[in-house]
Amino acid sequence: MRYAEVCVNSPVAQRQTFSYAIPLGLSINVGQAVRVPFGEKLLQGIVLELSDYPAVEETKEIAGIIEPRPILSPAHISLACWISQHYLSPLFDAVALMLPPGFERKALTFISIPPIPDDFDLSSLTQEQRHTLELVQGQGKVSLKELEKALGKKKAQTIVAQLVRQGLTIRSYELEPIRARTKVEPYLSLADDVVEAEQEVARLRRKGGNKQAALLDFLLQQSKPVPLAEARQRVNCDKAAADALVNKGLVTVQHIAVRRDPLSYQDITPSYPLTLTAAQELAFRSIRSSLEQMAEGYTSPAIFLLHGVAGSGKTEVYLQALAEAVRLGKRGIILVPEIALTPQTIERFASRFPNKVAVLHSKLSLGEQFDEWQRIRKGEVDVVIGARSAIFAPQPDLGLIVVDEEHEWTYKQHDKSPRYHARNVAIKLAEQTGAVVILGSATPDVETFYRAQREDYRLLQLPEKVTPSQNSPLPQVQVVDLRDELKAGNRSLFSRSLSQAITKAVTGREQVILFLNRRGAATFIQCRDCGFVLRCKRCEVTLTYHLAEDILACHQCNYRIPVPQSCPQCMSRRIKFLGVGTQKLEQETSHSFSQARLLRWDSDATKRKHSHQEILNKFRAHEADILIGTQMITKGLDLPQVTLVGVVNADTGLNLPDFRAGERTFQLLSQVAGRAGRGPLGGQAIIQTYSPEHYAVQAAAKHDYALFYDREINYRRQLHNPPFSQLASLVYTHTNDALCQREAERMKRLLIEDRDSKGIADLSLIGPAPAFIHRLRGRFRWQLILRGSDLSAFLSQIPIPQGWSVDIDPVGL
Ligand code: ADP
Ligand code: ZN
Ligand code: ZN
């Protein structure tokens, strides 16, 4: 007897596999999808391992194979196991990342009625029970979901349980219906007999001609099958005409698979490699020699950090490295932040590798995702380009992984399990497959740069723009102190400098971007006169304003104070100033610059699939003079007519209660500043702030990464923050705030006891405190932060009850 260790699609399974016997005659392989009995249900499972001995004495048998060909490669299986261990996620959640789109199907519960004994006294039932029985009887079989809809969730479950106990109903389980499959369309073609078809056309024409004649005549001229829909459109006939011809045996219908192609709406013209600049050449050579070594079977992974300002030609290096990988018989995966998945970016890859690019991201329809996934698995593409989940694409012969804008937070899946970071997953995957990794950024993550400094990663630098504009290679950045504006009596959102610059640009028919960092804008209070912001005495982080209670609280240690009546620094009474939103900014802008045409770009304005592109196209076509937006406008846009970028208030980012606030602000300001001066007109950026002396603002204004990094890494070292430690956040969620706090405190005691009993010295706990977003959809959230090393191993030993979520290496606290 042989056995299989199966990862089962059930919330009960957690981080465990289960042993199943392999029935004789069934050929089971590692990576295969199977159906297995689990409790009363029949569930999906993936075979992770085969063995001669089961892990438990009693085993059930595998019920059947879902698909003969293994879905997961051995490298993907190791990767899934690593994700589950490191991020403490259920194993199936990790495996599910790698399954074909729409593959995952849960078991649905159905209720039906067995033969009821004649002597059963139905009058002993309650009215509700009888009503339920009638409902089921009427349809023979009803899904529990439907009953829940009819009766309410709790009630339906109780009544069904009661009826099952009395033997009056039985439960059965079925997998959800298939959600995605290959799309087939009817195609028409001529049956074998051409002469007969021609005669029929002639005959019909003699009788005055009709739709059938037109259709048949059309098909006579075709050399290959034509989609029914297209044929109908071309000769303007209905389906009946086609049916009639099929019935006469003159035309045949075939069902042919059609590909749903997400790139089909783009016209792509091929492009060719550029002659590299000296700096690009140097970077490219290092990468090429690693690719060659890897192709020869050299195994220690090569990870490059390609550090280059916006426009320094990083993408060209990716493209040529990819071409090199392809030349060596390998393929690649390119990750870009979701937000950068504009047609512009995709087009650069699609035009260099015509018909050899697959795209994967969440805005594609399920059908498109399904078809792209299948193409990738068949080895039809050289390059997969996509957002974070594209790292799990079944790309064979993986030779190169690029993580563009590696510092972006969107690479971390923070809102659901597994809470993985695609950059870290990419590095693990490279270890499994022997691929080369390029991490690219103008403003590398401090942790990444630290590793490059320690030579864990190899640092490649592109210090200059490829095509610097005449007078200045990088846009001029002016920092405006908002306190001076107030002293001068200017109370508008626009400083005098920004105001003048906007007017000048707009009258000169140039374009302006106004950037507002809205995230966290309403969460801290700031003195309107001196810019002072209250911080926690213990943690140094900004105190968060809680509107409901009108208090300020530290969301790390729960220190609380009432909102002061006047500013502790300048005594001004205008202390309670909350940030502005994009709508307010839009109003003030249209009021102050009434001659300018405005366009707003934020997440509210871009919910629909192509609306990003619509807004961009409008702006590029100069249908507006000023574009107002949030984070979104900072990424990957090439807008040559923009000569001015204004940052309305840089402090919102600085005052986020998070040790990464400085880093985040530096990144954003650098990117925003890089938006100006992309074209021949050059350009400038103006940053408005109450903290002009802050190193993040200073360094961004000078385009000086080293200046920023040196200060930041020192702070990290002093405060023992990553990369000098590891963090984990534990959040408990409940509708009752007090209960939430008690549970968080209980967990803290438990963690401390466990730590002390094991004698772990370098592990500290911060909190519990209300989470930064204390209340979400009617539920309260309390947070504990752990700081130490090897936290996954420590936490994996702790029983963590329902209601808790664990985030290892969180990107935002
Ligand atoms: P990054 O990815 O660093 O922002 P890009 O690769 O997008 O930089 O390059 C910026 C611009 O310079 C693009 O328009 C690109 O076509 C052009 N470019 C890049 N490399 C070269 C080169 N070697 N010769 C000429 N133009 C180049
Ligand atoms: Zn003040
Ligand atoms: Zn505190």
* CB of 310 closer than 6 angstroms to any ligand 1 atom: yes
pLDDT of 774: 76
Residue 519 pLDDT exceeds 60: no
CA of 695 to the centre of ligand 2 (A): 21
Rg of the chain in Å (alpha carbons)? 31
Q: Which of the ligands is closest to the CA of residue 528?
A: 2
Residue 791 pLDDT exceeds 90: yes
Q: Which of the ligands is closest to the CA of residue 465?
A: 1
CA of 559 to the centre of ligand 2 (A): 22
* pLDDT tens, position by position, 418-438: 999 999 999 999 999 999 999
Inter-CA distances, 105 with 35, 42, 48, 532, Å:
11, 11, 19, 53
CA of 568 to the centre of ligand 2 (A): 7
Residue 209 pLDDT exceeds 80: no
* CB of 466 closer than 6 angstroms to any ligand 1 atom: yes
* CB of 332 closer than 6 angstroms to any ligand 1 atom: no
pLDDT of 607: 57
User: Residues 6 or more apart from 687 whose CB is under 8 A from it?
Assistant: 477, 478, 479, 480, 647, 650, 669, 673, 697, 700, 701
Provide the Cα torsion 735, 736, 739, 743; round to 10°: 20
Q: What is the mean predicted confidence (pLDDT) over 209-225? A: 86
Higher-confidence residue of 746 and 770: namely: 746
Residue 558 pLDDT exceeds 90: no
* CB of 523 closer than 6 angstroms to any ligand 1 atom: no
Sheet holding 183-190, edge to edge: 226-227, 183-190, 251-258
- DSSP helix/strand/coil, 141: strand
Q: Residue of the nearest CA to atom 6 in ligand 1?
A: 313
Closest ligand 1 atom to residue 442 Cα is 3
Q: What is the mean predicted confidence (pLDDT) over 363-386? A: 94
* CB of 228 closer than 6 angstroms to any ligand 1 atom: no
- DSSP helix/strand/coil, 558: coil
* CB of 726 closer than 6 angstroms to any ligand 1 atom: no
Residue 675 pLDDT exceeds 80: no
* CB of 308 closer than 6 angstroms to any ligand 1 atom: yes
Task: Answer for the pair 77, 48: CB distance below 8 angstroms, yes or no.
Answer: yes
Report the residue among 276, 282, 305, 315 best suited for mutation to probe ligand 1: largest number of ligand atoms under 8 A from its CB. 315
Q: Residue of the nearest CA to atom 25 in ligand 1?
A: 274
CA of 61 to the centre of ligand 3 (A): 55
Q: What is the mean predicted confidence (pLDDT) over 503-526? A: 80
CA of 521 to the centre of ligand 2 (A): 18
Q: d(Cα 408, Cα 339) in Å, to the nearest integer?
A: 10
732 strand-pairing partners? 782, 804
Residue 347 token pair: 């087009």
Higher-confidence residue of 132 and 756: namely: 756
Residue 813 pLDDT exceeds 80: no
Closest ligand 1 atom to residue 310 Cα is 4
Q: Residue of the nearest CA to atom 11 in ligand 1?
A: 311
Q: Which of the ligands is closest to the CA of residue 352?
A: 1
255 strand-pairing partners? 186
* CB of 274 closer than 6 angstroms to any ligand 1 atom: yes
For the beta carbon of residue 660, count every other beta carbon within 10 angstroms. Answer: 22
Q: What is the mean predicted confidence (pLDDT) over 336-351? A: 81
pLDDT of 712: 96
Report the residue among 284, 316, 703 best suited for mutation to probe ligand 1: largest number of ligand atoms under 8 A from its CB. 316
* CB of 348 closer than 6 angstroms to any ligand 1 atom: no
Residues with CB under 5 A from ligand 3 (ion): 536, 538-539, 554, 556-557, 559
Residue 775 pLDDT exceeds 70: yes
Q: Residue of the nearest CA to atom 19 in ligand 1?
A: 313
Q: For strand 598-601 and strand 226-227, is the pairing parallel, antiparallel, or unpaired? A: unpaired
Q: Which of the ligands is closest to the CA of residue 442?
A: 1
Q: For strand 303-308 and strand 458-462, is the pairing parallel, antiparallel, or unpaired? A: parallel
Q: d(Cα 474, Cα 685) in Å, to the nearest integer?
A: 10
Q: Which of the ligands is closest to the CA of residue 679?
A: 1
If residue 111 lies in a helix (H) or strand (E), which one and from where to where?
Answer: strand 107-112
Q: Which of the ligands is closest to the CA of residue 469?
A: 1
Inter-CA distances, 88 with 640, 754, 805, Å:
46, 18, 10
User: What does pLDDT average to over the chain?
Assistant: 88
CA of 317 to the centre of ligand 1 (A): 9
User: Residues 6 or more apart from 385 whose CB is under 8 A from it?
Assistant: 333, 334, 335, 336, 341, 345, 346, 349, 357, 358, 359, 360
Q: What is the mean predicted confidence (pLDDT) over 304-333? A: 95
Q: For strand 331-335 and strand 383-386, is the pairing parallel, antiparallel, or unpaired? A: parallel
CA of 558 to the centre of ligand 3 (A): 6
Closest ligand 1 atom to residue 276 Cα is 23
* CB of 646 closer than 6 angstroms to any ligand 1 atom: no
CA of 632 to the centre of ligand 1 (A): 22
Q: What is the mean predicted confidence (pLDDT) over 307-326? A: 94
Q: What is the mean predicted confidence (pLDDT) over 568-576? A: 83
Closest ligand 1 atom to residue 638 Cα is 14
pLDDT of 403: 97
pLDDT of 176: 83
* pLDDT tens, position by position, 693-714: 999 999 999 889 999 999 999 9
Provide the Cα torsion 603, 604, 610, 613; round to 10°: -60
Q: For strand 303-308 and strand 436-441, is the pairing parallel, antiparallel, or unpaired? A: parallel
CA of 536 to the centre of ligand 3 (A): 5
CA of 310 to the centre of ligand 1 (A): 9
* CB of 277 closer than 6 angstroms to any ligand 1 atom: yes
Q: What is the mean predicted confidence (pLDDT) over 392-399? A: 96
Residue 248 pLDDT exceeds 90: no
Residue 471 pLDDT exceeds 60: no
404 strand-pairing partners? 440
Q: What percent of the chain has pLDDT over 70?
A: 93
Distance of CA 178 to the CA centre of its chain: 24
- DSSP helix/strand/coil, 624: coil
Q: d(Cα 760, Cα 790) in Å, to the nearest integer?
A: 11
CA of 156 to the centre of ligand 3 (A): 46
Q: What is the mean predicted confidence (pLDDT) over 234-255? A: 87
pLDDT of 324: 97
* CB of 657 closer than 6 angstroms to any ligand 1 atom: no
Q: d(Cα 797, Cα 769) in Å, to the nearest integer?
A: 24
Q: Residue of the nearest CA to atom 5 in ligand 1?
A: 313
Q: d(Cα 798, Cα 594) in Å, to the nearest integer?
A: 61
CA of 567 to the centre of ligand 2 (A): 5
* CB of 311 closer than 6 angstroms to any ligand 1 atom: yes
Residue 772 pLDDT exceeds 80: no
CA of 272 to the centre of ligand 1 (A): 13
Q: d(Cα 766, Cα 677) in Å, to the nearest integer?
A: 44
Q: What percent of the chain has pLDDT over 90?
A: 47
pLDDT band at 13 (very low <50, low <70, confident <90, very high): confident
Closest ligand 1 atom to residue 466 Cα is 12
Q: Which of the ligands is closest to the CA of residue 553?
A: 3
CA of 313 to the centre of ligand 1 (A): 4
pLDDT band at 341 (very low <50, low <70, confident <90, very high): low
Task: Answer for the pair 291, 399: CB distance below 8 angstroms, yes or no.
Answer: yes
Closest ligand 1 atom to residue 308 Cα is 3
Report the residue among 461, 466, 675 best suited for mutation to probe ligand 1: largest number of ligand atoms under 8 A from its CB. 466
pLDDT band at 635 (very low <50, low <70, confident <90, very high): low
pLDDT of 580: 64
Q: Residue of the nearest CA to atom 20 in ligand 1?
A: 313
Closest ligand 1 atom to residue 309 Cα is 3
Q: Which of the ligands is closest to the CA of residue 466?
A: 1
Highest mean pLDDT (candidates 174-188, 359-373, 394-408): 394-408
Highest mean pLDDT (candidates 39-48, 318-327, 464-473): 318-327
